[in-house]
Amino acid sequence: MHTYRTHHCGELRASHVGQQVRLSGWINRKRDHGGLLFVDLRDHYGWTQCVIDLDNPLLNTLDKLKLESVITVTGKVIARDKDAINPKMPTGEIELKIETVDIRSEAEQIPLQVNSPDETGEDIRLKYRYLDLRREKMHRNIMVRSQVIASIRNRMIKSGFNEFQTPIITASSPEGARDYLVPSRLHPGKFYALPQAPQQFKQLLMVAGFDRYFQIAPCFRDEDGRADRLAEFYQLDMEMSFVTQDDVFGVMEKVIGELFEEFSELQGRKYAVTPAPLPRISFKEAMLKYGTDKPDLRNPLEIIDVTEFFKREDVTFNAFKNMINDGAVVRAIRAPKVSDKPRSFFDKLNDWARGEGSGGMAYIIVENGSSKGTIAKFVPEAAQVELNNLAGLEDGDVIFFMCDKEAKVAKLAGKARDKIYADMDGTLPDEFKFAWIVDFPMYEADEQTGKIDFSHNPFSMPQGGMDALENKNPVDILAYQYDCICNGYELASGAIRNHLPQVMEKAFAIAGYDKDVLEAKFGGMLNAFRYGPPPHGGCAFGIDRMIMLLLDEPNLREVYAFVMNGQYEDPMMQAPSEATEQQLKDLHLRVQLPLKEKKTS
């Protein structure tokens, strides 16, 4: 018989009754039932109920062991009494009658509950993460992560992609976030950087002729922590040669669609998955209808523009008119069949809008063929008819209004859309609702200075190529750039790349970067593009966010094995830590801490 086990703790069934077996694992629970002591033994695969008689001399030894101690038990599998069968667990028809016990390690008093959910704070959970990971939910989440990544890898290989690894220590690259820098010992005063993404390397693989690349890529960004982004995260990175935007969509819709179908019942019920081809929504349309470029499309409410309506001479709401004359726009959201809501419903929404930095939310209630509400008196009957037609208003509906500069009101309206639907007690269906956001603007102008800069990815191919760069207003140029969104999250970002050196030089020049800067920052890739680069494009899907969605977890820390807290500290490994004087000397560094602010009395 094996030293530690003949079976796993989740393996025994009624067919094993009468067999002599050996199990090893952690003591999950103990229950003293008078003449019997029940011990639930747990390992990676499940748990088995074990029982020891009062007359067994080992009972006292087991009784004194603390939970989470590791033991090996040997004994005979017996059938449970009919009234003791637990149909909810795979091993619920049997138990193991203990004959011998070997103590492999004794646990001290554990600082958090492992055998049941508890409200232990994040600091304790992360300090004792190895215990936190023993909990059923966390153990399951990490196993799902492993299974999802394995499925992704298999699907990409079946789609003709090859997996390559790209460097972790590389050059700093301005890609929109702050780099993690690594000082060089051999080159004093110089620094490597951890990659924000394998962007340049995957494009260079296309230049090298490999055609289809993918990688489960680690990425590093020195940003402030938030629920859906960590300092270190992983993405499904991919790139293809000789492809159009449609080609990229076709491949990834199949891979991601089948992945979500495979894992669509993790939450205990079947989730619908948007079938391919996925809807495509332009960036401009998304910002108008949803107030964000990553809308939750399960929410049926939409935003409309009613700026022209409030310009009517017979509409006399001067607060909006004056703001419109100063460059503002008006957005509206129809909330169906909520006219019977109490006054507090409207007051709370108005207070919420003020808390968001707005002057509030005006509204009109359409009821019994007439209208009422905060600005109804400024809208005569003829204008109300036009508004009803414009917004599709029916009896019992309410329409909310917001007015401000376009960028600001879009953001407010996007939040208001979700807030109104939630306050309506709107139910989001069990669905993974995908779409592509396309036609992102290539450039944007700073509101204060008017300076032109890239709005998103500077490596994207401008729609219209060199002709557009030379003859169009920069803010009107669109890029072959796209995001894949699902249930309010941006799951992927990508583009058809700008692979032509002369077009790239012109694109960067418009944003104020001369050729010397381009050579200094991207010289390796730019030089490679002078030697026959193929047209290419790709994208990167956030693995962690996909797993969050599949498991309905609100925080990325619930889908990683080992993570830092919100301040990017690891209480378990005590990172970050101070360097020794010798380490600093080897790296030619000196630490200069920021001065502490003096307290004023």
Q: What is the mean pLDDT of residues 554-582?
A: 93
CA neighbor of 416 nearest in space, from 326, 295, 310? 295
Mean of all residue pLDDT scores within the chain: 94
**Model pLDDT, residue 34:** 78
**Model pLDDT, residue 359:** 87
Rounded-to-integer distance, Cα 79 and Cα 300, Å:
54
Q: Look at the block and give the residue holding tokens 């950087």.
A: 193
In single-letter form, the type of residue at position 318 comes to: N
Q: What is the mean pLDDT of residues 512-526?
A: 85
Length of the chain: 601
Confidence at 226, pLDDT banded by 50, 70, 90: low
Instruction: Provide CB contacts within 8 A for 2, sequence distance 6+.
Output: 22
Express each pLDDT in 446-469 by its tens digit: 888 889 999 988 889 999 999 999
CATH 3.30.1360.30 positions along the chain are 299-427
**Model pLDDT, residue 431:** 97
Share of the chain above pLDDT 90, in %: 86
**Model pLDDT, residue 600:** 56
Confidence at 230, pLDDT banded by 50, 70, 90: confident
Q: What is the mean pLDDT of residues 224-249?
A: 90
Res 175 pLDDT > 70: no
**Model pLDDT, residue 217:** 97
- The residues that bridge with 70 in the sheet, in sequence order, are 26, 105
Rounded-to-integer distance, Cα 69 and Cα 53, Å:
20
Q: Look at the block and give the residue holding tokens 């004093």.
A: 188
The domain made up of 14-105 has a fold known as: OB fold (Dihydrolipoamide Acetyltransferase, E2P) (2.40.50)
Q: What is the mean pLDDT of residues 304-316?
A: 97
Q: Cβ distance 237 to 217 under 8 Å? A: yes
Burial of 255 (C-beta count, 10 Å sphere; 0-12/13-18/19+): buried
**Model pLDDT, residue 342:** 94
Q: What is the mean pLDDT of residues 333-343?
A: 95
CA neighbor of 460 nearest in space, from 436, 440, 486, 434? 440
At the fourth CATH level, which superfamily is domain 299-427?
GAD-like domain (3.30.1360.30)
Rounded-to-integer distance, Cα 443 and Cα 477, Å:
7
Q: Cβ distance 183 to 587 under 8 Å? A: yes
Confidence at 174, pLDDT banded by 50, 70, 90: low
Confidence at 119, pLDDT banded by 50, 70, 90: confident
**CA dihedral sign of residues 569, 574, 576, 578:** positive
CA neighbor of 151 nearest in space, from 255, 59, 249, 61? 255
Q: What is the mean pLDDT of residues 495-520?
A: 92
Res 210 pLDDT > 90: yes
**Model pLDDT, residue 218:** 95
Helix (H, G, I), strand (E, B), or coil: what is residue 41?
strand
Query: Can you give the C-alpha Rg of the chain in angstroms?
Result: 31
How far is it between the farthest Cα atoms of the chain? 96
The domain made up of 138-271+459-558 has a fold known as: BirA Bifunctional Protein; domain 2 (3.30.930)
Q: Look at the block and give the residue holding tokens 């917004």.
A: 391
Q: What is the mean pLDDT of residues 114-119?
A: 85
* CA distances for 589 relative to 180, 181, 340, 485, angstroms: 16, 13, 68, 43
Confidence at 599, pLDDT banded by 50, 70, 90: low
Please count the helices (runs of H) and the strands (runs of E) in the chain. Answer: 16, 24
**Model pLDDT, residue 227:** 61
How large is the angle between the packed helices 501-510 and 515-528, nearest 10 degrees?
150
Rounded-to-integer distance, Cα 172 and Cα 359, Å:
43
Instruction: Provide CB contacts within 8 A for 595, sequence distance 6+.
Output: none
Q: What is the mean pLDDT of residues 248-267?
A: 97
CA neighbor of 378 nearest in space, from 329, 321, 331? 321
Rounded-to-integer distance, Cα 560 and Cα 389, Å:
50
Res 601 pLDDT > 60: no
Express each pLDDT in 21-36 by its tens digit: 999 999 999 998 878 9
Q: Which residue has the higher pLDDT, 54 or 383?
A: 383
CATH 2.40.50.140 positions along the chain are 14-105
Q: Which residues of 63-100 are buried (b: 16+ CB within 10 A; e: fewer)?
A: eebebbbbbbbbbebeebeeeeeeeeeebbbbbbebee
* Order of strands, sheet of 398-404, starting from the edge strand that comes earlier in the sequence: 303-305, 329-335, 398-404, 362-367, 370-372
**Model pLDDT, residue 572:** 95
Taking the model in full, what pTM does it have? 0.92
For the ranges 240-254, 453-467, 469-483, which has the lowest average pLDDT? 453-467
**Model pLDDT, residue 525:** 86
Q: Cβ distance 494 to 481 under 8 Å? A: yes
Rounded-to-integer distance, Cα 259 and Cα 434, Å:
13
**Model pLDDT, residue 120:** 86
Confidence at 598, pLDDT banded by 50, 70, 90: low
CA neighbor of 589 nearest in space, from 183, 180, 182? 183
Q: Cβ distance 482 to 490 under 8 Å? A: no
CA neighbor of 28 nearest in space, from 10, 14, 12? 10
Q: What is the mean pLDDT of residues 338-361?
A: 94
